Amino acid sequence: MIFTVIIPARHASTRLPGKPLLDIGGWPMIRHVHERAMRSGAASVYVATDDQRIAEAVRQFSDNVVLTSPDHQSGTDRVEEVARLLGLADEEIVVNVQGDEPLIDPDLIGQVAEDLAAHPEAGISSLYESLAEGDAPQDANLVKVVTDEMGFALYFSRSVIPWQRASEATAVNLKRHIGIYAYRVATLRRFVTWPPADLERKERLEQLRALVNGVRIHMSRACVASSGGVDTDADLQRVRALLAEPWAE
């Protein structure tokens, strides 16, 4: 099973400007993400960015960086452009790994690609895990997903789904979506031609655009716990403490 990893990385960030270039243990954040993607079993790993500063930083450790259009509205659009520029065939699999996840486990990257390969009726695959004890189910930053008996997504929401009686409510009964995706290239090409869906705008969840256009998304329970991305300075300090030194070359 062959797949390509594409890491979209942008310089503009409201809370942490220049996030992919922030230093963690002597490396820019984007290098940590790249190194973990390289250990996933991917045939190749590319960074997609519209910022020359990020491109120059990536070229210090890899030639696989692609400058993309500055007009993209999402990382998915950026990933599709790179897949197109690389001439990837419709049936090939691309994994979108976010550029702000320096702790991502390589096994999760390989798992989502393998899951899509194992479900030819799906155009996209992704992962979930149970909410941890102490997580607030009502937290809108924790995206929930419900699936059918075969593991295909029925809906994603920032609200609590499915609804639970107060006496039965428990975080571990809910599936928290992990934001990593594998796409068939043909699905990517269709996706970027569709306008944002009404549900997508209301929930602020791009994957709903695929569902409302009939794309099946297969979900699997993550094989290892997810690490979460770097969205705040507190996240950055936590990651710096865990990755005080880069891996040996």
Q: Closest Cα to residue 79, out of 158, 144, 156, 4?
A: 4
Give the CB-side neighbour count of residue 211, counting CA atoms within 13 A: 21
For residues 37 and 97, is the Cβ–Cβ distance under 8 A? yes
142-182 confidence digits (pLDDT tens)? 999 999 999 999 999 999 999 877 666 666 679 999 999 99
CA 19, CA 14: separation in Å to the nearest integer? 10
CA 34, CA 101: separation in Å to the nearest integer? 10
22-79 confidence digits (pLDDT tens)? 999 999 999 999 999 999 999 999 999 999 999 999 999 999 999 999 889 888 999 9
